A and B are shown apart, each in its own frame.
Chain A
Amino acid sequence: MVERVYREEFGRVVASLTRRFGSIDVAEDAAGEALLVALEKWPVDGVPPNPGAWLTTTAARKAIDKIRRESHRDAKHQAALMIEDDTPHEPTGPVEDDRLRMVFTCCHPALAPEARVALTLRLLGGLTVAEIAQAFLVPETTMAQRITRAKKKIAGAGIPYRVPSLEDLPERVAGVLAVVYLVFNEGYLSSAEGTSVRDDLTTEAIRLGRILRALLPQVPEVTGLLALMLLTEARRPARISADGTLVPLPEQDRGAWSRPLIQEGHALVRECLATNRPGRYQLMAAINAVHTDARAAADTDWSQIAALYGQLAAIDPSPIVELNRAVAVAELDGPEVGLALVDRLNGSLSGYHPFHATRADLLRRLGRSAESRSAYDAALALIDNPAETAYLTRRRDQLALG
């Protein structure tokens, strides 16, 4: 109970103290000490009515004590560790939340991508270093070093603790969304052996997505990303069968999908599309909304999906988008037309296993078994996800029997 409240409030406490004391390290240590006090007091006195405020006050006291102690010892060293924020404190509405400053600091482009992810989960998500290390399957010492190094760079290189200027905001928000989506996908499409879905990371990414939406409700891509994650997460109960095999979308038990998540996701898709500033995440969310709208796979509105992929290709052209559009076209105009589109992508996608898996499926539907089998083999050679391996092996072996 204490741990749950603490994790909920951690990001707010650390962000607020970082602003006040100008040092992430001071803020983080103080938040840790406040937890120890909470663990001692709350089970006896009960959880205070406003646990976040209680933790912030307690942590601030701890930080002041520590700074007093250390200022006697080495004031210069302490000053060197401080990062400054001398921007005028303008009233900018919800943007004022200290956690928003923290997001932009953690996801700063001057930090290595893996450090951005780790820092965001640690400082905003309140995960422990051990938990993050476990989630990314690296030794705890490695993760601790990665985080320490990143924090040292923030202080040493002067990465600012503030919301970027309006001019830089769209690009920097895109960087933040990329970090959150990476955390989500790491959980959802984990390439780690033996773990097809890591709930903790998808849950954490959605929680971060909700925080971002609360902080930046006026940015449609933020809403789009949350919708995309919710609609993907909604299908998770049906995505892996009891024996650990991947179940592709058309074969999933739609009754197992989470209705509340789908409803929430659909509402968010409608809301962000209404602003008429389409972006990558909004369009991907809209595609997922069309899929989750169909009561049965056969009811899927493929013309809508093909059109949305066409829009996506217009703003964010990539061979992967073309591949997905080809799948929709195959449903509309038949596998032969789809295959012609897919074959054009050979070369750019020859190292991407869904390309071979899609080809294999279209060739199978056209009765070209031998070609289909070698396409399945090509896909299998590129995969290290056990659930997908199991699924594609089964499809290939069904071919062999038929």
Chain B
Amino acid sequence: MPQYFLAVNHDEASDAEMATKTMEDFQPIIEAVDAFNTALRESGAWVFAGGLQDRESSTVVDATGDSPIVTDGPFSESKEYLGGFWIIEAADLDAALDWATKGSQACAGKVEVRPFQLEPEA
């Protein structure tokens, strides 16, 4: 069955909005995401999911040269960055978009749906 990557991207606008929220504001979102995760598991669509720490905590390793170089900080200075994601199994894009709709409602953010490269048959 095809797998899809459901990405929750953050940007300056969503960061600014988050900064105005209290822990209490987040409670309903956390509960909705939990419920969504349960629904994914129960239907068999769940593969993996996770929220990422702040991008300030990232480290970049570049081993394309002679010796690996480790640097601090996000890989790119782009305005949009990955905040969290789900990996799901779905029969086709319509099924994946249905999950993405529910995920977007649950996490109160936009969700980007990307298909995984198809595995060559063994």
Contact = CB atoms under 8 A, between A and B. Distances in A.
Contacts of B90: 158
B121 interface: yes
A392 B90 CA distance: 55
Nearest to A79: B121
A157 B113 CA distance: 9
Contacts of A76: 120-121
Contacts of B16: none
A173 to B, nearest CB: 15
Given A156-B118, A158-B90, 16 more contacts: A75-B121, A80-B118, A80-B120, A108-B93, A110-B97, A157-B93, A157-B115, A158-B92, A158-B96, A159-B92, A159-B93, A159-B94, A160-B92, A160-B93, A160-B94, A168-B94
Interface residues of B, number: 13
Interface in A74-96: 75-76, 79-80, 84, 86
A308 to B, nearest CB: 35
Interface in B80-118: 90-94, 96-97, 113, 115, 118
A84 B92 CA distance: 9
B2 interface: yes
Contacts of B92: 84, 158-160
26 contacts: A76-B121, A79-B121, A80-B120, A84-B92, A86-B91, A108-B93, A110-B93, A110-B97, A156-B115, A157-B93, A157-B113, A157-B115, A158-B2, A158-B90, A158-B91, A158-B92, A158-B93, A158-B96, A158-B115, A159-B93, A160-B91, A160-B92, A160-B93, A160-B94, A164-B94, A168-B94
A156 B91 CA distance: 13
Contacts of A79: 121
Interface string B41-70: 000000000000000000000000000000
A264 B90 CA distance: 45
A47 to B, nearest CB: 39
Interface of B: 2, 90-94, 96-97, 113, 115, 118, 120-121
Nearest to A159: B93
Contacts of B2: 158
Contacts of B121: 75-76, 79
Contacts of A80: 118, 120
Interface centre among B2, B94, B118 (most CB of A within 10 A): B94
A105 to B, nearest CB: 10
Contacts of A84: 92
